[in-house]
Amino acid sequence: MAAMKAHVWVMPKQTVLDPQGQTIQHALASLGFSAVRDVRHGKFFVLELNGLSREDAQKLVERIAKDVLANPVIEDFRFEILD
Amino acid sequence: MAAMKAHVWVMPKQTVLDPQGQTIQHALASLGFSAVRDVRHGKFFVLELNGLSREDAQKLVERIAKDVLANPVIEDFRFEILD
């Protein structure tokens, strides 16, 4: 029941265009970094959780990721719970 | 020398306010998710690299993270290279 952390990654779905990632890839190419063939740009969240069991933390973070942090129409998410 | 991936995390420095993270934390609290005590909001990038040795990929990604993806005045970064 101590403090826990959660990491949440939110990325554009593979089938969805990622204009920010493409812009970065083009910028890198114009700077001479042509070895970078593709860039995907996403969000990363670190949550600090208090007073939850690991099981409850799993459920809570999944719900928060799905309902608040990600837009499931165009984004995928994954998360991990750290003790 | 095959295709490789790199993951790059860019986060606000611990000493820097994170207004986006705070906004999300307040929103979560008002939605009843009071177990979430703190939120830090960062960026996550997936780079696809071609034709580099692992050592060159390390150097390249570190340079890109430092010079392009992160603002070292207010952000920290870390990265990993995946085969």
A81 in helix, strand or coil? strand
B47 touches chain A (CB under 8 A): yes
> Do B37 and A68 lie within an 8 Å CB cutoff?
no
**Distance of alpha carbon B53 from alpha carbon B58, whole angstroms:** 9
pTM tops 0.90: yes
Closest CB to B68 among A3, A27, A46: A27
**Res. B2: pLDDT tops 80:** no
- Give average pLDDT by consecutive 10-residue segment, chain A, 83 residues: 90 94 96 96 97 95 97 97 92
Q: The complex's ipTM?
A: 0.92
Enter the DSSP assignment of A17: -
Q: Does CATH number 3.30.1280.10 belong to domain A4-82?
A: yes
The ranges assigned to domains in chain A are 4-82
Measured between alpha carbons, how far is B76 from B74 in angstroms, rounded to an integer?
Answer: 7
